A and B are shown apart, each in its own frame.
Chain A
Amino acid sequence: MNLLDWLVLLLSLFVIAGLGVYKNRKQKDLKSYLLADQSLPWHTVGISIMATQASAITFLSAPGQAYTQGMGFVQFYLGLPLAMIVLSIWVIPVYHKLNIYTAYQFLESRLDYKTRALAAFLFLIQRGLAAGLTIYAPAIILSALLHWNIYLTNLLIGGLVVIYTTVGGSAAVGQTHKQQMTIILLGMLLAGVFMVMTLPENVSFSSALRLSGAMGKLETLDFNFDLSNKYNFWSGLIGGFFLMLSYFGTDQSQVQRYLSAGSMTQSRLGLLFNGLLKIPMQFSILLLGALLVVWYLFINPPLYFNQEALDQMKGTEAAARMEQLKDKHQELVEQRKSVALRAADALDKGNDLEFEQVKSELQAAQKDFEGNQAQVRQLMDEQTGRKGNSDTNYIFLRFVLDYFPPGLIGLLIAVIFAASMSSTSSELNALATTTMIDLYQRGFKPKPDDRRDLFLSKLFTAGWGMFAIGLAMFAGQLGSLIEAVNVLGSLFYGTILGIFMVAFFFKYCRGTSVFFAAILAEVVVLLFYFFSNITFLWFNLIGCVLVLIFSLLLQALFRLAKTR
């Protein structure tokens, strides 16, 4: 990174944070602090919803994922537009009618306090841990690739968010989201333009797509029904639908975004806006990764994109084997390049027949290349004693740092920061709101005092921010726990959604039956997780359906016992 990059990065970060603080430094009461006075227009709400969901890992990981496994990840979002419609029809009117701050307040109005407290508690654990990882995940990648101090990187990302979220509350979160999304979209657009412009002269955009497709990177839809396959049409449409219902309908970090809207209409439009744009946005980000495959056909890709991890192999028993793999890699890259040049030439001449002939050679060369990469990862697994070593999250940023012009590198690093900060700010805002409304106000029932509550809400925001930064500082020592935390979210979402589904649609069920049904369903989901090979998206459906069934059964039993 040179001076221009630093200027672009620091300017964008401090301008966004500074404006967030300055424009929203005064709040008159709790409602203005926690719900932006319910004044946000639909476009701010829509952008805010998208910015909350898109964390730094979305932009770092998705292109890498498309580079290694193709664009199938887009199917993860197939359930989202339908979920937006369901939420607009059934959920938004209820939340607005009740005039609530948190989704969990609704649970008490319909069921009882213990069910509300259970859902709020699960949210605080899950989101509190996730907030730390939202800061840590990009920090570790940036520190590895740019040799930055991990603690200072955590502090820079987390510190700025804590300041403007604590001072400005929900209004600052919504306002900064707009600027952050502008930087994110501009950065990704310029990255795409740069990639297409710098392809070899005889490789047009459509030729690049055909080359990428020939290597199997453009497979967007897989209609095979397979419970063990993470991303296919059915898991995305059905499992993803329930996941998105749960995430957008019951996770306070999202619910608070549309509760801050000026009216029910603005909330609905914000959600529909998200439903309309999410898949195209994700498709475009994945396409960058699919184009990157073509880019690296003509320029030597690194053996492993995380150079720091590769360097750590030097001087170990695996070093000699790694050298062999490196030599093999070089040989395979050259082979693949010569085939790719022939394929590109055939496409350039419009000779489809020749392209079809070279295509199978290209596929074979790609297969050999990927086989060698797999051996590198396996060797790393053996050497580190840790399964699942992967450089997927490093691919895109390494490419940016190696080849992008000055200025654009700074902008792309700003994209990573902006994405991380946009998710973290919503998380801190929601954690503070839930602590204030569901625990403090409901639990302690203090005398109404707006000034005190406003001060305490700011204190809770800062407190959760410190907790998240602290967790990010120690996350490196948590090892595989990080993955466990990520899985944890998926394991709880189905159950939480089930609680809300019963509350919305099954008036027959009461609080106690739902409370115990949720605990029972969670146990079964955990059993499935430990003793089956079903992938995580399906747990959203399973958890939800189990809560429904158990609630109905328990309610029937309770009624029977009562009548006897």
Chain B
Amino acid sequence: MKEEEEEIPVFKSWRSWYLLLISAFLLMILGLYLFNRFFT
């Protein structure tokens, strides 16, 4: 294991990564909801 943690890629903090995943997750739910509504 590397002693010093390497730099976080793309964003400045992990918080941004988590926000990205939460946003993607909410979008997925919205997508599933719309898919549900449109086709059934």
Contacts and interface: CB of A to CB of B under 8 A. Distances in A.
Interface of B is mostly: helix
Interface of B: 1-2, 5-9, 14, 17-18, 21-22, 24-25, 28-29, 32-33, 35-36, 38-40
A263 B24 CA distance: 25
Main secondary structure of the interface of A (DSSP, over half): helix
B8 A78 contact: no
A213 B39 contact: yes
Interface string A217-239: 01111000000000000000000
Interface of A: 38, 74, 78, 81-82, 84-85, 88-89, 96, 99, 209-210, 212-214, 216, 218-221, 262-265, 268-269, 272, 275-276, 279-280, 283
A275 B21 contact: yes
Contact of B24 (A74, A81, A213, A264): A81
Given A96-B1, A262-B2, A280-B28, A221 B36 contact: yes
Nearest to A70: B40
Nearest to A93: B5
Contacts, number: 69
A220 B32 contact: yes
Given A88-B14, A218-B36, A276-B24, 18 more contacts: A81-B22, A81-B28, A84-B21, A85-B22, A213-B38, A213-B39, A218-B40, A219-B36, A220-B35, A221-B36, A263-B1, A263-B2, A264-B1, A265-B6, A265-B8, A272-B21, A275-B25, A279-B25
A219 B5 contact: no
Contacts of B25: 81-82, 275, 279
Contacts of A99: 1
A99 B3 CA distance: 10
Contacts of A280: 28
A38 B1 CA distance: 6
A219 B1 contact: no
B3 to A, nearest CB: 10
A38 B18 CA distance: 24
A343 to B, nearest CB: 14
Contacts of B5: 263-265
Contact of A81 (B1, B6, B7, B21): B21
Nearest to A222: B36
